Amino acid sequence: MSDHDYKPKSKVGQWFNDRLPLLTLANHLTDYPTPKNLNYWWTFGGILTFCLITQIITGLTLAMHYIAHADMAFESVEHIMRDVNYGWLIRYIHANGASMFFLAVYIHIFRSLFYGSYKSPREIIWILGIVIYLLMMAAAFMGYVLPWGQMSFWGATVITNLFSAIPLVGEGIVTWLWGGYSVDNPTLTRFFTLHYLIPFLILGLVVLHIWALHVPGNNNPVGIDIKKPSKDTVPFHPYIVIKDGFALLMFMIVFAFFVFYTPNILGHADNYIEANPMVTPAHIVPEWYLLPFYAILRSVPDKLLGVVAMLSAILILAALPWLDTSKIRSAVFRPLYKQFYWILVADVLILGYVGAMPAEGLYLLIARVATAYYFLHFLVILPVLGFKERTLPVPLSITEPILGGSPNLAAARHRESKIK
Amino acid sequence: MKKLFKLILILSLFSLNSSQIFAAEKVDYLKTDWSFKGLFGKFDRATLQRGYQVYTEVCASCHSMKYLSYRNLSEEGGPEFSEAAAKAIAASFEVKDGPNADGEMFTRPGKLSDKFVMPYDNVKAAQAANGGAYPPDMSVLVKARGGGVDYIYSLLQGYEDPPSGVTLDDGVYYNKYMYGNKIRMAAPLSDGIVEYGDGTNASVEQMSKDVTTFLMWAAEPHLEARHQMGFKAIVYLIILTILVYFSMKKIWSRVESEV
């Protein structure tokens, strides 16, 4: 990297940069050598940054009008929807923005799973990502409580009650979380406080996530280490900026469609009924992005073990760099892993589906099988596959298959065509 | 082919949720063409005005609409009564106000800035007057029910005699669209229960459509603005996307790689 050679042109710039090297940072970010074969699945990092900033800006605006009080929260949301100038727009962007954020983060995570981006030397990037994901779930859950509708109230009750599964201190912890003996005003005000705090924690972690990324540089669809800068790379600006921008615009069209034409389809109708501690909704369902974990929770008959299973399902991801024993990163060169990858995708989708259904009969059975498979994938299949799988020949560089010289040119060309 | 498969996977993520909403009640609701659906969906003013008449003459005796103000009736995108008409409507209600300089509460005629007057002072009073059942507030009712407008529209026309074997308690009615089929509200509409000023025949079907449209507006008063802005926003985004696409192609033509 050319960071160290960078010198601002103007005297003022040099004076400033010697004292605070912001210009060096800007230069690093624009020159950052990026593999030139990144496909569109790599654009979701930028899209996620957009989502975070959108959520923070709309959230700040909403917080100026929202009242975090059990008696007034629901009414203040209606005030935003009716009387605040463009309040409906800001709220619908924020509410659908959460869903778009999770859509993007799931694509981002599954991209990483497919191309082995979590493997050495990128374990820290991956673990930071898992922490960000956990914080996102916490923020989304608490945000959903704020309108103080029926699903807010009962969702909060169900989720916080999970802590009561902890032996001995569980009940005490729940009372402490609630700030009383049921979900009530103290719960709402602290959830609001934390909902306001967490995005800034995420923002800080995103900075670390990107920092950690810029040490080894991006992984790429071929999954090989590349020389930087070289024929295999392009500077971040303008090449990646314009490509990310293009992908972001496509994403925004989908986003806009939800906001303007079906703003409530991703929410639950019951949340337009004001919270009522005396009436329990027929089905208490979390938002779609939490459904796979909800299915895992309910598939275990014991409450404590269910909570353990649900948390493990997320935390197991943090151990992924060590569970996956294969030296080859990209699934492109791992014919067996590629198949198991798509089975895992299907498994998670099935878990999401049964998570939305009542936990009984066939749905419960499917949930149990899918939960068992989920853990089987990470704990058995991945470690074993690394030793057993016969991988395909990997090219020596990104340009090599194009320029020739590979020991197995035909195979490399074939692979290359599949990447695109 | 694989790309298509991936796309389908992503889309199925979204369809999950709609199936989740409607999974509980797989009922075929009565259908009608709603003017407010679609890319350019708008409310029909006459329908909204008739709907308000049905609401105020029938529903409002039990159901509150506490998040609406009388001024909303003359605002753009709504029933668009003239300001004078909205003022007259507001003035026809008695509003409790105060305390005045003497510390007394008093009643006065309603003003445009007042919220819709509620039929009961509180939930308990409403329950007491309705055999224990609370008539839900109608401000966001269509958004608070899984089937939305189709559900409300069907429910209003779904009253029938209970099938043999179903016994109903006193004050409970049979409705084929109600969750569990038992409802504490007697059939609110009957042919000619209101007399429309514009001469429209006040059939149950017509009134159901009018009042449901009114409820949709009550729940989404900025729906028209949303649709108009949405169309502009999406057209803008598409044009920008196309321009950025060609810029991207041009920039990437400098390197031997494809985007």
Predicted complex: ipTM over 0.85: yes
Query: DSSP state, A317?
Result: G
Please report how many Cα atoms fall inside a 13 Å half-sphere around the Cα of residue A108, on the Cβ side.
20
Residue A278 contacts B, CB cutoff 8 Å: no
Token pair in block for residue A247: 């992908």
Using DSSP's 3-state secondary structure scheme, residue B187 falls into coil
Residues 6+ apart with CB under 8 A from B90: B70, B109, B110, B111, B112, B114
Token pair in block for residue B181: 């089929």
Residue B4 contacts A, CB cutoff 8 Å: no
> First CA to last CA across chain B, in angstroms?
19
Min Cα separation B27/chain A (Å): 16
Block residue for tokens 């389809």: A265
Q: Cβ separation of B9 and A259 shorter than 8 Å?
A: no
Length of chain A: 420
Nearest to B146 among A78, A269, A402 (CB): A269
Using DSSP's 3-state secondary structure scheme, residue B2 falls into helix
Query: DSSP state, B147?
Result: T
What is the rounded CA–CA span in Å between residue B44 and residue B51?
10
Length of chain B: 259
Min Cα separation A372/chain B (Å): 21
Instruction: With both helix axes pointing from N to C terminus, report the angle between A335-356 and A361-376 in degrees, rounded to the nearest 10.
Output: 150
Spatial CA neighbour of B16 closest among B6, B26, B8, B28:
B8
Residue B237 contacts A, CB cutoff 8 Å: yes
Q: Give phi and psi for B163, each to the nearest 5.
A: -65, 155
C-alpha to C-alpha distances, A393 to A62, A97, A338, A405, B18, nearest whole angstrom: 54, 42, 15, 13, 44
> First CA to last CA across chain A, in angstroms?
28
Please report how many Cα atoms fall inside a 13 Å half-sphere around the Cα of residue A105, on the Cβ side.
23
| Rg of chain A (C-alpha set) | 24
Q: Which chain B residues contact residue A260 at CB under 8 A?
A: 226-227, 229-231, 233-234
Residues 6+ apart with CB under 8 A from A296: A306, A309, A310, A313, A351, A367, A371, A374
A to B CB pairs, distance under 8 Å: 123
A126 contacts A321 by C-beta, under 8 angstroms: yes
Spatial CA neighbour of B96 closest among B108, B113, B114, B104:
B108
pTM over 0.90: yes
Q: B183 pairs with which residues across the strands?
A: B173
Cis peptide before B99 (omega within 30 of 0): yes
Hey, what amino acid is at A126?
W
Min Cα separation B70/chain A (Å): 13
Q: Cβ separation of A242 and B234 shorter than 8 Å?
A: no
Token pair in block for residue A134: 């956990």
Nearest to A238 among B144, B219, B251 (CB): B251
Tell me which H or E stretch contains A144. helix A123-145
The tens-digit pLDDT sequence of chain A (420 residues) is 444 578 999 999 999 999 999 999 999 999 999 999 999 999 999 999 999 999 999 999 999 999 999 999 999 999 999 999 999 999 999 999 999 999 999 999 999 999 999 999 999 999 999 999 999 999 999 999 999 999 999 999 999 999 999 999 999 999 999 999 999 999 999 999 999 999 999 999 999 999 999 999 999 999 999 888 888 899 999 999 999 999 999 999 999 999 999 999 999 999 999 999 999 998 899 999 999 999 999 999 999 999 999 999 999 999 999 999 999 999 999 999 999 999 999 999 999 999 999 989 999 999 999 999 999 999 999 999 999 999 998 888 887 655 444 445 555 556 656 665
Residues 6+ apart with CB under 8 A from A252: B237
